[in-house]
């Protein structure tokens, strides 16, 4: 028998509607009790459409409710810090969307607030929950391709019309780097098991985004062990397929169609014996993340990505942005 987990949703967002409501309900003894929106009308509609018994425009209605054990924060990025700190002070466990915050100081404040309150802080970097990436990690760990030499990440797609809002309009909270490249960074940290030491980047803008917001990027990074990594990311490339390629001294591992929210991805290994497909048994990425988070809340495990993971990914993303803005190579410091 599990302890029940009562949930409050902070943010009547698209990602909550599309993925997280279902993922919470897929967990044993987990119930969504309330949803916060800054708009009464949006909150009411979200609650009705998703079968949630209450909605509110006052965060305290959720934070003072003794039946709420955990909150999922998926508001616009500039609110993640203040809402996480308030939830931690109220003793709630927190699954926060990425980017964990917009700045390093805010992210550190969030980690400290959750640490002091003794609550779980997780950041929803979902790609490390993809079964294909997890299989790839196992093969890298087992040394199947020998010494790692270089990695390429392909994460270009066309931003759907419905998402062409703050992502392309907001110079503070929007832009490809903090929205999408940060997921590539987290995936690389997970797969390689370390942080890059140096980054360089060039961005594009103006195809979809405006006001100085980037909608395309090429990044190069150096990881420990002299491993070179390249990322291509974009909001403006239709018909592209996300993927990764890991080049080792004895072989190559190729992941195809593995950079989305879907339970998808095919893995291939190429070496002196030829090319073979490695079987992958897929699971829903968000169900996996919510299972890990629920276990952590019940004191039996760690979230898939912790607050510290969110902070490291943010620090690297900000170094990439600095490089794109200055045209210089930037040394990465993880606080
Ligand atoms: P949305 O734009 O759907 O939601 C963000 C906020 O915008 C909501 O909290 C809502 O405010 C407000 N909002 C929604 N619709 C309207 C509207 N019609 N008019 C005015 N405001 C509106 O964003 P996403 O769901 O795409 O992203 C939310 C967060 O989740 C971000 O931090 C993003 O980075 C992250 N994300 C993570 C993903 C992942 O797979 N890990 C995938 C997608 C996003 P209110 O709550 O006040 O109603």
Residue 224 has a CB neighbour count (10 Å cut-off) of 11
Residue 192 has a CB neighbour count (10 Å cut-off) of 20
Please state the φ and ψ torsions of residue 68, each to the nearest 5 degrees.
-90, 115
Q: If you take atom 15 of ligand 1, which residue's CA is the nearest one? A: 13
Q: If you take atom 13 of ligand 1, which residue's CA is the nearest one? A: 13
Predicted local distance difference test score (pLDDT) of residue 250: 97
Q: If you take atom 2 of ligand 1, which residue's CA is the nearest one? A: 13
Task: Say yes or no: CB of residue 92 within 6 Å of ligand 1.
Answer: no
CA of 13 to the centre of ligand 1 (A): 4
CA of 166 to the centre of ligand 1 (A): 9
Task: Say yes or no: CB of residue 234 within 6 Å of ligand 1.
Answer: no
Taking the C-alpha atoms of residue 45 and residue 330, their distance in angstroms, rounded to an integer, is 46
pTM of the entire predicted model: 0.97
pLDDT in tens, the chain (335 residues): 578 999 999 999 999 999 999 999 999 999 999 999 999 999 999 999 999 999 999 999 999 999 999 999 999 999 999 999 999 999 999 999 999 999 999 999 999 999 999 999 999 999 999 999 999 999 999 999 999 999 999 999 999 999 999 999 999 899 999 999 999 999 999 999 999 999 999 999 999 999 899 999 999 999 999 999 999 999 999 999 999 999 999 999 999 999 999 999 999 999 999 999 999 999 999 999 999 999 999 999 999 999 999 999 999 999 999 999 999 999 999 99
Predicted local distance difference test score (pLDDT) of residue 1: 58
Residue 243, CA distances (Å) to 128, 133, 171, 184, 274 in order: 14, 10, 28, 10, 20
Place of tokens 């490390």: 128
Which of the listed residues 11, 22, 47, 170 should we mutate to test ligand 1's pocket, taking the one with most ligand atoms within 8 A of CB? 11
CA of 96 to the centre of ligand 1 (A): 12
Task: Say yes or no: CB of residue 181 within 6 Å of ligand 1.
Answer: no
Q: Domain boundaries in the chain?
A: 5-125, 127-285+315-331
Predicted local distance difference test score (pLDDT) of residue 155: 98
Task: Count Cα neighbours of 102 within 13 Å in the Cβ-side half-sphere.
Answer: 13
Answer CATH for 5-125 from 3.40.50.720, 2.60.40.10, 3.30.1600.10, 3.10.310.10: 3.40.50.720
Dihedral angle of Cα 91, 74, 311, 253, to the nearest 10 degrees: 130
Task: Say yes or no: CB of residue 128 within 6 Å of ligand 1.
Answer: no
Q: If you take atom 45 of ligand 1, which residue's CA is the nearest one? A: 37
Closest ligand 1 atom, CA of 42? 48
Q: Domain 127-285+315-331 - what CATH class?
A: alpha beta
Predicted local distance difference test score (pLDDT) of residue 2: 78
Which of the listed residues 8, 10, 18, 76 should we mutate to test ligand 1's pocket, taking the one with most ligand atoms within 8 A of CB? 76
């Amino acid at each position: 028998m599990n302890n029940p987990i009562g949930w409050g949703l902070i943010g009547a967002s698209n990602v909550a509607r599309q993925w997280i409501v279902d993922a919470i309900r897929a967990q044993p003894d987990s119930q969504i009790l309330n949803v916060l929106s800054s708009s009464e009308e949006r909150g009411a509609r979200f609650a009705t459409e998703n079968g949630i018994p209450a909605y509110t425009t006052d965060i305290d209605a959720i934070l003072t409710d003794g039946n709420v054990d955990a909150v999922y924060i998926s508001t616009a990025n500039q609110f993640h810090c203040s809402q996480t700190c308030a939830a931690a002070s109220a003793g709630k466990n927190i699954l926060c969307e990425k980017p964990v915050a917009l700045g390093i100081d805010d992210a550190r404040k969030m980690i400290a607030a959750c640490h002091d309150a003794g609550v779980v802080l997780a950041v929803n970097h979902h790609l490390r929950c993809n079964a294909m990436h997890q299989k790839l990690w196992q093969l890298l760990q087992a040394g199947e391709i020998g010494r790692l030499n270089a990695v390429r990440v392909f994460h270009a797609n066309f931003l759907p019309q419905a998402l062409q809002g703050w992502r392309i309009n907001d110079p503070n909270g929007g832009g490809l780097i903090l929205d999408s490249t940060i997921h590539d960074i987290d995936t690389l940290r997970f797969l390689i098991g370390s942080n890059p030491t140096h980054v360089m980047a060039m961005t594009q803008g103006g195809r979809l985004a405006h006001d100085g917001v980037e909608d395309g990027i090429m990044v190069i990074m150096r990881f420990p062990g002299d491993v070179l990594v390249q990322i291509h990311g974009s909001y403006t490339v239709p018909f592209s397929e996300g993927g990764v390629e890991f080049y080792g001294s004895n072989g190559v591992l190729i992941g195809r169609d593995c950079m989305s929210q879907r339970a998808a991805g095919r893995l291939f290994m190429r070496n002196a014996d030829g090319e073979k497909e490695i079987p992958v048994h897929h699971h829903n990425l968000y169900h996996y993340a919510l299972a890990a988070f629920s276990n952590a809340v019940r004191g039996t495990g760690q979230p898939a990505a912790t607050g510290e993971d969110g902070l490291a990914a943010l620090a690297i993303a900000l170094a990439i942005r600095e490089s794109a803005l200055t045209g210089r190579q930037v040394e990465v410091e993880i606080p």
